[in-house]
Structure 1
Amino acid sequence: MLKYLLLSVDFFYLQDKQDYEMKPGTKYYLALFLTVTTYFGASKILFDKVNETIHVVIDELFHIPQGLAFCQYNFTYWDPKITTLPGLYFVSAAFLGSYFPCNTYNLRFINLAASCVNLILFASILKFVYGANDYIKTVIQALNLALLPPLYFFSHVYYTDTLSLTFLLIFSRLCFTNRHKLLIFIFGLCSVFMRQTNIIWIAMVFGHKALDIFIRSSRVFGNQSLTRVKLSKASLIARDVDSSKLKRYYGLDDFLVAFKYHVSTCMVTFFKFLSLQDVMILFTHSLILMLFIAFIYYNGSIVVGDKDAHKAVLHIPQVLYFLLFYGVFGLPYVLNKSLSTLKLIATNKIKVILFGLLLAVIVHYNTVIHPYLLADNRHYTFYVWNRWFGKYDFAIYATIPVYIFLLFNLYDNLCNQNCISFLLPYSVCMFVVLALQKMIEVRYFLVPYIILRLRFVKASNLIITFEFLWYLSINFVTFYLFFNKEIYWKDFDYAQRLIW
């Protein structure tokens, strides 16, 4: 059955002749089948060990009773401590209760199964992005993403992150071809129903598409900034695309030229070059966004349940903590670009100094500490904060050089193979997702990082192998601590465990 699932994922997306030419052969499917099978087998052993060790992991205290209630078709029960929409519980109700026993083990198993689907989706996305010539490299990179330590850990417990990512990946993969408008709409809504912040990434895809059309439609003979030829606005050739000015990747200068041109022509050329397919896909995304705005208006907040503990506040250092996340889990890519990053920094000394001053002001005036961060010693962030940022007054300033290096390094890993039509919407959406969160949670960084990881330059065999071994090492250490480090709270009659 797994083999048919692998085949159906690609058949579902490959539509035109070009897609079928990209379709890998039997070796790819065999490699992916063996990888998923091995991944599931090894993870199942670990999964059973987690279930033997502890029956409730921190926030499962709220999630598991909620899932059990929905499995029993009690849709009126709602724990006010839960802040996400009930997508996870509806999926649980769809599979458990009628077909399988509804218990903690099976509720958690939904996420383990979803992680296997994520591995298949990662492979499908990577094959589309990089091609299928080196199928072994594609499959190993997909495995690495499935093993991303925080994501891998939460694939063994009943949290929303893994299944939320599944629906977001399906939505993203559908958007590559833009052929299934109804399915894009359905899976877009489903991804938001799993986790509200996914709406930001739907907005990013919308912005990416709109900005790409915005820039490309400005590459016309009538744009004096490009051709130095002055043509009448009534001239037909003024509205013809100048193919000599089309590029694979556009920079910030191209966006500014496009902005100047479209403002001067009142967006006439933009709408002239809109195809019916463009209109339909932009409308599909817009409809999802409008429905979500209606939800916020009705609910009074993006959060359901415990609104007081999750109020939106400006917290810009969250973006800097994300850079640290990138530094740890993107270490192979950081090291690969380290020398070129140092050269880039050396040639931009003025920008580095200005960045340093700006970051010093930000961390001085906008470092926000959530009470949960100081109180909950069951998360790694508790120890990082209390043994560095919270312990030494100079720590928030001493980390600034690391932020600057990682910022330039990330740019170095992205700039040569990504267009401004992606980088600009992504930067805005990443800021919105992270910088309005008071709570520091490793889980919040997962989707922003995975999006970037899928946009890095095609990696060498050495980098992919290093990434695989690096993730295995981190997972070994974190699960070893989970199984062996016991934390006792007065409110619980059983030992708590250390998690991300």
Structure 2
Amino acid sequence: MKSSPKYYLILFLTVAAYFGVSKFIFDKVYGTIHIVIDELFHIPQGLAYCERNFTYWNPKITTLPGLYLVSAAVLGSHFQCNTYNLRFINLIASCINLILFASILKFVYGNTSYVKTVWQALNLALLPPLYFFSHVYYTDTLSLTFLLVFSGFVNKFKLLNFIFGLCSVVMRQTNVVWVAMIFGHKLLYIFIKSSRVFGNQYLTKAKLSRQSLIAKDLDASKLKRYYGISDLFNALFYHITTCFVTFFKFITLQDFLDLFLHSITLISFLAFVYINGSIVVGDKGAHEAALHLPQLFYFLIFYAVFALPYVLVKLRTTLSLIFSNKIKVVFICILFVGIVHFNTIVHPYLLADNRHFTFYIWNRWYGKYDFAIYASVPIYVFLLFSLYDNLRQQNCISFLMPYTVCLFLVLALQKMLEVRYFIVPYIVLRLRFVRPSFKIILFEFVWYLTLNCAAFYVFFNKDVVWKDFDYSQRIIW
């Protein structure tokens, strides 16, 4: 969809209103507390980098120094480097994220209302956990900025795409998983489409020349818009029988360059993990990798809370889907019960740190009742079908398979339960939902405003006293 002055005017007014309200909240957050939990490590590190002291490193910091490098580039020489300005970098980044969300949604939904596009972008910027961390000096907001820019350059500027992909990993290591997802999506798409274009007799019953008009427009037409699992198996059988010759013939120079540049990022990261001995930089004892499958169930709860309008609008079709797949539902229930029984892990921080909402949720449900982990299984099953229901009409196996693998890697291999870990996986899914109506967008907007108001009310009014600190702590996501 071509942009018009009307689109830019709507976007400008929305960003201006968003910044104005957020700046008011930002100042109130700053006036309430100058150090929010992990800022105890982040702020001194940012100050050190602003002073060009790149040898100092706090061993409690787990992420790579991307946030502090950006801080050093923006502050120090041009602006005063202090807590207020360090946090302010994330507030500006959140405004940039709003603009990037609008650009991506405009591309995803194509010819749709400018108001709907920008409004959805605003909703994503207001996603409560993301919105809160836009007011403090954490890595999440700016990390997402680089990831969104990276995804926006995938099919345009190859070198910039590579640079921002690399930068997103330097901002936060887990972003490498989403670089890998783009790589896997591209590879699978070429893998399946090449089998169709070169005359996969198991699909088209006819062998086509690559130069034929039908081959060139095969998947742009209504013949096949989204690939399913059967397309993948047929493609695999076809390429095996042809010794993968047509697969390599189909890859263009641009495709090869894309895959090559993504490979450099992925191989570089593997080298870093090998040399470092872990994916985290510091505090390795508290962040050891471990198989923790229930993290995927907690992500479904995250989806239920923050995609509530989409869960409710699909409620009837989701229930119909469940009742029409009774045998599968029973099997999934048994599987989930086995997973929560044998693989539920409770990290010590979850039980000890009463400055996070997860502490109260866990101790008032999962930790309080022995049956809670089993009683939650039907909810997980329902939400799994609900998520599938929201994705099935708008997605392709070339996205769903890499996404599922990457979701497993980013969530199910860590012990600690933190709401922040679910932000990017959810945003990736939210950008793939079927085009919503104005009513759903309005519901989402009101729902997010309600949750944000509740979260900030608790933050501003609930003190948590720790003997090790001479100031009151606050409760956050």
Which TM bucket (shorter chain)? over 0.9
- Pick from 113, 116, 128: which aligns with 1:149? 128
* AA of the residue aligned to 2:185: H
CA contact (8 A) 1:317 1:362 kept: yes
Question: Counterparts of 1:324-363 in structure 2 under 5 Å?
Answer: 324-363=301-340
* AA of the residue aligned to 1:84: T
How far, CA to CA, are the matches of 2:277 and 2:446 in structure 1? 46
* AA of the residue aligned to 2:415: K
What does residue 52 of structure 2 align with?
A: 73
How far, CA to CA, are the matches of 2:374 and 2:211 in structure 1? 52
Q: C-alpha deviations, 1:36-66, integer Å up to 9, x for none? A: 0000000000000000000100000000000
CA contact (8 A) 1:220 1:239 kept: no
Stretches of 4+ aligned residues off by more than 6 angstroms? 238-241
The more displaced of 239-248 and 197-206 is 239-248
How far, CA to CA, are the matches of 1:259 and 1:89 in structure 2? 45
- Pick from 110, 114, 122: which aligns with 2:93? 114
**Is residue 103 from structure 1 mapped to residue 102 from structure 2 by the alignment?**
no
What does residue 297 of structure 1 align with?
A: 274
Give the Å deviation of 1:227: 4.1
What does residue 250 of structure 2 align with?
A: 273
- Pick from 266, 287, 294: which aligns with 1:310? 287
Counterpart secondary structure, 2:80:
coil
CA contact (8 A) 2:165 2:179 kept: yes
Give the Å deviation of 1:304: 0.3
How far, CA to CA, are the matches of 2:395 and 2:371 in structure 1? 36
Q: C-alpha deviations, 1:366-400, integer Å up to 9, x for none? A: 00010000000000000111000011011001011
- Pick from 126, 129, 144: which aligns with 1:165? 144
What does residue 398 of structure 1 align with?
A: 375
**Is residue 387 from structure 1 mapped to residue 364 from structure 2 by the alignment?**
yes
What does residue 438 of structure 1 align with?
A: 415
Counterpart secondary structure, 1:197:
helix
How far, CA to CA, are the matches of 2:161 and 2:105 in structure 1? 19
What does residue 441 of structure 2 align with?
A: 464
What does residue 84 of structure 1 align with?
A: 63
What does residue 52 of structure 1 align with?
A: 31
Q: 1:301 to 1:116 in 2, by over 3 A?
A: same
How far, CA to CA, are the matches of 2:137 and 2:110 in structure 1? 34
How far, CA to CA, are the matches of 1:227 and 1:147 in structure 2? 46
Give the Å deviation of 1:284: 1.1
Give the Å deviation of 1:253: 0.8
What does residue 413 of structure 1 align with?
A: 390
**Is residue 216 from structure 1 mapped to residue 202 from structure 2 by the alignment?**
no
* AA of the residue aligned to 2:46: G
What does residue 138 of structure 1 align with?
A: 117
Percent identity of the aligned residues? Answer: 71
What does residue 354 of structure 2 align with?
A: 377
CA contact (8 A) 2:198 2:246 kept: no
What does residue 427 of structure 1 align with?
A: 404
How far, CA to CA, are the matches of 1:221 and 1:210 in structure 2? 17
Give the Å deviation of 1:220: 4.6
How far, CA to CA, are the matches of 2:267 and 2:140 in structure 1? 24
* AA of the residue aligned to 2:108: V
* AA of the residue aligned to 2:400: L
Give the Å deviation of 1:287: 1.1
How far, CA to CA, are the matches of 2:198 and 2:272 in structure 1? 44
Q: C-alpha deviations, 1:250-283, integer Å up to 9, x for none? A: 1011111111111222211111111111111111
How far, CA to CA, are the matches of 2:210 and 2:193 in structure 1? 14
CA contact (8 A) 1:120 1:142 kept: yes
How far, CA to CA, are the matches of 1:267 and 1:163 in structure 2? 41
Q: 1:238 to 1:248 in 2, by over 3 A?
A: closer
How far, CA to CA, are the matches of 1:330 and 1:344 in structure 2? 19
How far, CA to CA, are the matches of 2:389 and 2:240 in structure 1? 32
How far, CA to CA, are the matches of 2:371 and 2:201 in structure 1? 52
TM-score, with length taken from structure 2: 0.97
**Is residue 488 from structure 1 mapped to residue 465 from structure 2 by the alignment?**
yes
Q: C-alpha deviations, 1:169-208, integer Å up to 9, x for none? A: 0000111xx2311101110110000000000000000000
How far, CA to CA, are the matches of 1:142 and 1:347 in structure 2? 35
* Structure 2: runs of 5+ lacking an equivalent: none
The more displaced of 278-287 and 127-136 is 127-136
What does residue 343 of structure 2 align with?
A: 366
* AA of the residue aligned to 1:436: L
* AA of the residue aligned to 1:472: L
Tell me how large the CA RMSD over aligned residues is.
1.5
Q: 1:385 to 1:174 in 2, by over 3 A?
A: same
How far, CA to CA, are the matches of 2:199 and 2:148 in structure 1? 40
Q: C-alpha deviations, 1:198-249, integer Å up to 9, x for none? A: 00000000000000000001115653322456x8xxxx85997756685110
* AA of the residue aligned to 1:494: Y
* AA of the residue aligned to 2:457: Y
* AA of the residue aligned to 1:67: G
How far, CA to CA, are the matches of 1:29 and 1:132 in structure 2? 15
- Pick from 15, 34, 49: which aligns with 1:36? 15
How far, CA to CA, are the matches of 1:209 and 1:395 in structure 2? 41
CA contact (8 A) 2:297 2:380 kept: yes
What does residue 476 of structure 1 align with?
A: 453
CA contact (8 A) 1:485 1:498 kept: yes
What does residue 15 of structure 1 align with?
A: none
* Structure 1: runs of 5+ lacking an equivalent: 1-21
Give the Å deviation of 1:294: 1.4
**Is residue 287 from structure 1 mapped to residue 260 from structure 2 by the alignment?**
no
* AA of the residue aligned to 1:59: D
* AA of the residue aligned to 2:469: F
* AA of the residue aligned to 1:152: Y
* AA of the residue aligned to 1:258: A
* AA of the residue aligned to 2:424: V
**Is residue 255 from structure 1 mapped to residue 232 from structure 2 by the alignment?**
yes
Aligned length, in residue pairs: 472
How far, CA to CA, are the matches of 2:12 and 2:250 in structure 1? 43
Q: 1:387 to 1:226 in 2, by over 3 A?
A: same
* AA of the residue aligned to 1:357: I
